[in-house]
A and B are shown apart, each in its own frame.
Chain A
Amino acid sequence: MTDKAILEEKIMSKASDNDSPQENSLINIQNYDFFYGDKQVLFDVNMDIPAKQIVSFIGPSGCGKSTLLRNINRMNDLVDGVHHNGDITINGQSNYDPHLDVISLRRRVGMVFQKSNPFPKSIYENVVYGLRIAGVKNRSVLDEAVERSLRASFLWEEVKDRLKDSALGLSGGQMQRLCIARAIASGPEIILMDEPCSALDPIATLKIEELIHELKKNYTIVIVTHSMQQASRVSDKTAFFYLGELIEYSDTDQLFSTPKEKKTEDYISGRFG
């Protein structure tokens, strides 16, 4: 299996994480419409997400930001009756290319969910889950991946003595960091985060934010958040969505200090939403 070979190689040579070319645009979204059945939830979205940057999606509930995020790794395929117009490309390859293997796409685009969802397995097994299902059996590769991912998610020092314990014994913040470790273990390029801190207390949130900041060195991160403070703290660029439309998309500082659109200004100043 070629996928497996690529994965093994990637994990053993840490260098490979750093030497991917600095492209201007990694994810490219063009004229993207999206429908749940008859209901259109995204209207003509156009945006470029640059590599090794953190982009946050903000906007009121139901504005379509999570939907867009979940289309980047095609998680919305699981919902019945969805269809779309336009295209999303990653590194120039279309997400809707009929030859594209959705499974390998999801391996390249990791995801962290709103509710932490560790599997009812040991901490170790949680982290190596993606590798195991890709067919990696080599013990040293797995051990290496566990340590690297857990270190990267600042969890190593806390759990290194109880890797064989159930992941369900961890605290909420630790569980979410474990989910991040799980997402980065199989060496993705992009990590999607769907409101990763919404169920966490402020201290745990702070830790996750530090972690996100650290991960920026190696990964492109797209984060959906309800907290404008969080968006302004962690992200390089921010996109504001309203009723399925991308209203404004620019550098975070600019968007929060001098928004171009009236709607953006109303939203960030708390006049609605």
Chain B
Amino acid sequence: MKKNNTNKPKGDSWVWFTSLGLSTGLLMVTGILIYILCQGLSAFWPKDVAQVKVNPDSSVNINGSKTIAGVVVKDQIKRKEINGEFKDVQELQLFVANRDLYNLSFIYIDKKDIEQKKYPENLMMVERLNDSKAIIIPTKLIKEDKTEIPFEDASFEAEFSKLVQEAENIRDKAYDIQVGPISDIVKKNKNLVVDQYPYYEKLKFNNETIQYLEQYRNAVESLDKISIGFLGLPSDEQAKYPESKEYLKLFSEAQLKLSEIGGSDFKNYQEIQEKISKGKVEESELVKQVTSLQKDLNKHTLEFTTASGYNSKVTIGNVIHYFYPNRLSTGNKIGMFFSNAWNFLTEDPRHANTEGGVFPAIVGTLMMTILMCIFVTPFGVIAAIFLHEYAKQGTIVRMVRIAINNLAGVPSIVYGAFGLAFFVYYVGGSIDELFYGDWVKSGNGAMFGTGGMLWASLTLALLTVPVVIVATEEALAAVPRGIREGALGCGASKWQMIKTVVLPACAPGIITGMILAMARGAGEVAPLMLVGVADIASELPIDSAFPFGLERKFLHLGYNVYHVGFKTVDSEASQPLVFATTLLLISIVALLNLAGIIIRQRLKKRYATSAF
């Protein structure tokens, strides 16, 4: 074929214009994705630690020391005013860690001030349980029995790693006790207090009983202060505390009076009180076990110095991970990269979320998103069916439709405020009043009358319901008239037609709505701050017994990004973690969407309407 430029239709230049629009959009999206991917993944890559010696004339120092060790984070050009003139200066940003010692995490050094830069192999990077990261030069290991192993000693490495491993086992053991038996007993005691409360209410029928009940409760409280669960101790144990005599006297006096007046109510009250005291004794025994384990953790210490000459020490129990960054081969680094990523995904957060992993946040985000889908999909579909199939099409329906579309544009914080007012305070408060009255009044705090998983997912369901309604309505409209008539012609009622033919045919469209809702809901943070997200959550929002943990506050990846990235003291130091969290959130949303798309594809194959 011959090219003929003169025949080129006019106005084809607009094609370039449209493609420009698309490519700009794609460029921006891929750009931000690649940036987050690089930054997020680099958080797991172990970097070399440089030890820099700075020119004595430079103002840069750490407490007077001109030797600084740290990870080079940025190598940038900055415009600086020097003697009244603006000049471009090449400068390095170093992450120096040891925030507890230096009171800073980053230091900026002009490149020309650097006299010497080397990568000593004895630098050790330590991740600590209760502190930020540390870059140290170990000096010696001091064991429980005061034996010292100097760093230079050949056995140091083996001994140190053995002790760190031991410490981890002990920590695990203590953790198991805390989340297992201790939390069981705490829960049991909470329930006992709730059971006890009605008797307390019943007994308060006149001034005298009120007075003696007060005396009784005060005595129990004071005795608990002497030794937890005092009344549950055997009498020979009790005798060890002479200061308890006075309170015991008050206690027995009140007990005597109350059993005279109170009768069976007091008997029940007393029985439960005994159980509570016994529970407290059990708990304190277990707590003692944990404390002794924790004491074991602090038996051994590592003394160290830093490149800038600080001498300090760290107990072995405080060391979570450690490695020598400058000794790693590429293979080792790859290994560490994966183990770091794994730790990030599976560990609990430490040090106010700025260190450690995000496992609870992953669980929280997934649970919330899935629950939201479970709430929003049926709700949206039912609303769309009524709107499209049953409602008489007219001005009112048109206005409802406009209102639904507008709902999608309401700022999400407004939904948060609504969720707080309606779900948390009104619905939750009413549930608490009706079913958990004793629970709340006996001082356990609100059950459903506070933000939690259930309310958060309901609020987000409300936020995303317009998306599902709109998508479902479109799908309903796309169901061919032919198969509707076919169903009716076979003698189906309208509802039978919708159920057996129309709904299956628009299932892919409904799933599309769900995917869109999920994409919107999973990344939403603002409303969650009001209705259920927590800074630090001790328990996962999952439980085997009613109410299945749904009342609990939870961690959320999106909120984590905000909280760790912008609301912590040292947010710049946790920047890599923020990027990693962002990457994870995007991946989770992408995975959920992918799952949705696969389901939709299957449904499409199954329910494809005929070609006619």
Contacts and interface: CB of A to CB of B under 8 A. Distances in A.
Given A113-B482, A115-B482, A133-B496, A120 B489 contact: no
A226 interface: no
Interface stretch (A11-19, A45-53, A90-98, A100-108): A100-108
Contacts of A82: none
Interface in B572-612: 606-612
Contacts, number: 81
B488 A78 contact: yes
Contact of B612 (A73, A129, A182, A199): A199
A68 interface: no
Interface in A191-231: 199
B490 A182 contact: yes
A167 to B, nearest CB: 8
A106 B505 contact: no
B607 to A, nearest CB: 4
Contacts of B488: 75, 78, 106
Nearest to B504: A120
A180 to B, nearest CB: 12
Given A75-B485, A133-B496, A199-B612, A120 B505 contact: yes
Contact of A179 (B480, B486, B501, B606): B486
Given A103-B493, A186-B490, A199-B612, A117 B485 contact: yes
With a 10 A CB-CB cut-off, give which of A107, A113, A132, A133 has the most chain B CB atoms. A133
A117 B493 contact: no
Given A129-B490, A130-B490, A116 B612 contact: yes
B483 interface: yes
B339 interface: no
Interface size class of A (residues with CB under 8 A): 20 to 34
A113 B612 CA distance: 12
Nearest to B392: A80
A130 B393 CA distance: 29
Nearest to B493: A103
Interface in A83-139: 103-104, 106-107, 110-111, 113, 115-120, 129-130, 132-134
Contact of B489 (A75, A115, A116, A175): A75
Contacts of B493: 103, 133
A168 interface: yes
B608 A106 contact: no
A106 B483 CA distance: 15
A133 B504 contact: no
B370 interface: no
B491 A116 contact: no
B492 interface: yes
A112 B73 CA distance: 74
A119 B491 contact: no
Contact of B491 (A104, A168, A199): A104
B489 A118 contact: no
A183 to B, nearest CB: 7
A111 B612 CA distance: 18
A172 B608 CA distance: 16
Nearest to B501: A119
A186 B488 CA distance: 13
B487 interface: yes
A119 B489 contact: no
B600 to A, nearest CB: 15
A63 to B, nearest CB: 21
With a 10 A CB-CB cut-off, give which of B488, B489, B491, B504 has the most chain A CB atoms. B491
Contact of B492 (A103, A172, A175): A103
A117 B491 contact: no
Nearest to A185: B490
B492 A133 contact: yes
B130 interface: no
Contact of A133 (B483, B490, B608): B490
A120 B490 contact: no
Contacts of A199: 612
A117 B490 contact: no
Contacts of B504: 120
Interface in A12-53: none
B515 to A, nearest CB: 21
Nearest to B486: A117
Contacts of A78: 485, 488
Contacts of A80: 393
Contact of B608 (A111, A168, A186): A168
Those 5 A-B pairs whose CB atoms lie nearest each other, nearest first: A117-B482, A107-B491, A130-B490, A111-B489, A117-B486
Given A115-B612, A120-B610, 13 more contacts: A75-B485, A75-B489, A106-B491, A113-B485, A117-B480, A117-B483, A120-B483, A120-B504, A120-B505, A130-B490, A168-B609, A172-B612, A186-B490
Interface of B: 393, 480, 482-483, 485-493, 496, 500-501, 504-505, 606-612
18 contacts: A73-B489, A75-B489, A80-B393, A103-B492, A103-B493, A106-B489, A106-B491, A110-B490, A115-B482, A117-B610, A133-B491, A133-B500, A168-B608, A168-B610, A183-B490, A186-B490, A186-B491, A199-B612
